[in-house]
A and B are shown apart, each in its own frame.
Chain A
Amino acid sequence: MQKSNRKMLFALIVFLSLFPVVVLNVGAIGHYLDVMIFVGIYSLINMGLSLLMGYAGQISLGHAAFFGLGAYTSGILCTKLSLSPWLAMPAGIFLTALVAYIVGVPSLKLKGHYLAMATLGFGVIVYIFFNEEVALTGGPSGFSDIPGLTFFGLDLNNELYYYILVWSLVVLTLVFSLNVINSRIGRALRSLHDSAVAADAMGVETSRFKLVIFVLSAAYASLAGSLYTHYVGFLSPSSFDFFLSIKLVMMVVVGGMHNIWGALLGTWLLTFLGNEWLHVFRDFDILVYGAVLLAIVMFLPEGLVDLSPKMKRLWKRS
C-alpha cells in the first residue's frame, strides 16, 4: 500500500476510535453514533460506486437495488427460514453478485447515458418487485421483526457494538479496495482512463474488468443492505427507491469520485448534513442542502478530496 494511503488509514482509525468516546460523553450529540452507523453503511455502497465510477468509468443509477437485494435476502432468510444472519449475509452477497453479473453482461456494453438509463431501469424493476411480491416481501408495507445480530452470544444490537461492527467492515472493505486499486487490475482500470486505445494494445481486456468491478460494487452494496436490515429490524421498499440511487451517486461525486477516500468523505458530509446539521433551517433545509451541493460542484468539481490540494495551490499563489 502506498505511504499516503497508510497515513490516511491510520488517521481514519484514530478518528473512528475517538469518535464514540467524544460523542457519548457529550449528551447533546449522543445520537451521532446512530448517524455514524448509517454513514458506515452507505460508505460501504459508495466505495463500490467509487470504484465503478471513478476507476472503471461506468455509472450506475441502480445501486439502491443491490442494497435492497442484500437487505431483503437477509431479512427474508432470517425471518421466514430462521436462518442465521451470518449465513444469510453471504447468501445475499452471492445472490446480488449473480444478479449484477446477469444485468452487467448486456448493460455494460452500453455507454454514458444509455448505461445510466439501463441501470436506472433495473433499479425500478427491483423496486417494483419489492412492492408487488407481497407474499415474499410484504409489499409496500414491508415486514418487521427481523432479528438483530449476535456474536458468540454477545447481542450486537447496541449502538456502540453495531458502530464497531459496521466500521470494522468499512475499514476492511476499504483496505480490500485500496489493494485492488494498487494492483494490476487497478492499473488496468486507470490506464483505460488515460488512453483506451493504448490499454487495448497492452492486452487489457476492458469489458471484463468493467464487469468484475460492477459485480464487486454490487457485492459491497449487498453487504451494506444486510447490515442495514439487522440494525433497523424493519424493511419496506421505500428505503431502496430510485432517489436513494441518486443520493448515493451524489455522495460519491461530492466527495470526489477519482479517489476512494472521496466516497467516505462525501457520504459522511451529506449524511450528517441531511440527517442532522441542516435541521436548524427547518423547512428551508432542502434549500440549504441544494446550495451546499451547488457550491461544491461549482468550486470543487473534483470533489471534497480536492479541497486541501486546492488550498495549497491558492496559498502558494498568494
Chain B
Amino acid sequence: MDSEKFDTLLRVEDLHKSFGGVQALEGLSFTVTSGIIKAIIGPNGAGKTTLFNLISGVFPPNNGAITLEGLSIEGRKPWEIARLGVSRTFQNVEVFGRMTVLENVMVGRHIQSRAGIISTGLKLPWMRREERRIQDGAKDYLEFVGLLHKGGELAGNLPLGEQRLLEIGRALATEPRILLLDEPAGGLNTKETEGLASLIQRILERGITVILVEHDMNLVMDISDEIVVMNFGEKIAEGKPKQVKNDPVVIEAYLGEEVDYSDI
C-alpha cells in the first residue's frame, strides 16, 4: 500500500469529539483513496453522522486531524470546506423546502458563480450570462439524478425519495471531489434503493469519491469498495466487504440487531 501516499484523498487521524459527557468519537482514524466508494457502517450511535459533521465542518473536533490531499481542513468553516471540494447530503433531509427543485440545485452552483450585489442589482450583461449558466448547469444535474421534470415544484412538496435524490443533485452541483452521503437509502423502497445504487455508481464514474454512511447492508455490501465498521466512536474493523462481513468482532457488535446476509 505504498502508492497510498499519492492516492490518499482524505485522511482522518485520531479524531475525538465529545458532547458534554458523551464521547461520540474516540480516536477514529482511516484514509480514503481517491476514486472509490467507502462505506462507514455501525450500530446507531456509533458516531457516523458526527464523523460527517466533523469532515464537513459543522463543528470542530476536540482533537485529531482531517486532511484533504495533505491540506488540513479540521476546524474550518463549512463553506470553506465546500469550496475545497467536499459536499454532502443529510440524514434528516435538508432541502430548501420553500424554493423550487431547480432553485435548490442552483444554490448548489453558488460557489461556481461570482456575481456580486451591484452586478446582480443592475442585471449587468455578464451577470445575465452567468445566471443562464447557473440555470443550465443546475438542469444538467437535475437530469443526472432524474428530477428534471420536477424542476418547477417546491422542494418541500416532493416525496422523501425524491428529496434524497434532490440533495444528491444539489451536492453534485458544487462539483465536489468527495461526496458524503448520509443514509441516502433511509426511507426508500426496494426499487428506489436499486436506482440509488446505480446512481452512486454513475457518480463514481464521474471521478467523484463517495463516502457512504448507510444501514441498508445489501446496498453497502453491493457497491462499496471498502468498509469501515464503527462502534462506540471507534473503528472496530476495516477492509473489503467480504473481510468485514466475516469478521467476528463485527458480528459481535451487530448482535441484537437483525442483520441478514443470507441473500448477498
Contacts and interface: CB of A to CB of B under 8 A. Distances in A.
Interface of A: 176-177, 179-180, 183-188, 190-191, 193-195, 197-206, 212-213, 216
B90 A190 contact: no
Interface string B162-182: 000001001100100000000
Interface residues of B, number: 41
Q: Is the interface of A mostly helix, strand, loop or mixed?
A: helix
Contacts of B232: none
Given A198-B167, A203-B83, 14 more contacts: A177-B121, A179-B123, A180-B117, A180-B120, A180-B121, A183-B131, A184-B120, A188-B110, A190-B103, A191-B107, A195-B94, A197-B78, A202-B108, A204-B107
Contacts of B77: 200
Interface string B107-125: 1111101011100111100
A186 B94 CA distance: 19
Contacts of A204: 79, 107, 110
B127 A183 contact: yes
Given A197-B58, A201-B88, A204-B110, A184 B82 contact: no
A152 B123 CA distance: 29
Nearest to B117: A212
Contacts of A194: 95-99
Closest 4 CB pairs between A and B?
A: A203-B82, A183-B120, A200-B78, A203-B111
Interface of B: 56-58, 77-79, 82-83, 87-88, 90, 94-99, 103-104, 106-111, 113, 115-117, 120-123, 127, 130-131, 134, 167, 170-171, 174
Contacts of B120: 179-180, 183-186
A204 B87 CA distance: 12
Nearest to A213: B117
Nearest to B114: A184
Nearest to B99: A190
B121 A184 contact: no
Nearest to A195: B94
27 contacts: A177-B121, A179-B120, A180-B120, A183-B115, A183-B127, A184-B106, A186-B120, A187-B103, A187-B107, A190-B99, A191-B99, A191-B104, A191-B107, A197-B58, A198-B96, A199-B107, A200-B79, A200-B82, A201-B78, A201-B87, A201-B171, A202-B82, A202-B107, A202-B110, A202-B174, A204-B110, A206-B79
A185 B121 CA distance: 10
Contacts of A205: 79
Contact of B121 (A176, A201, A202): A176
A179 B98 contact: no
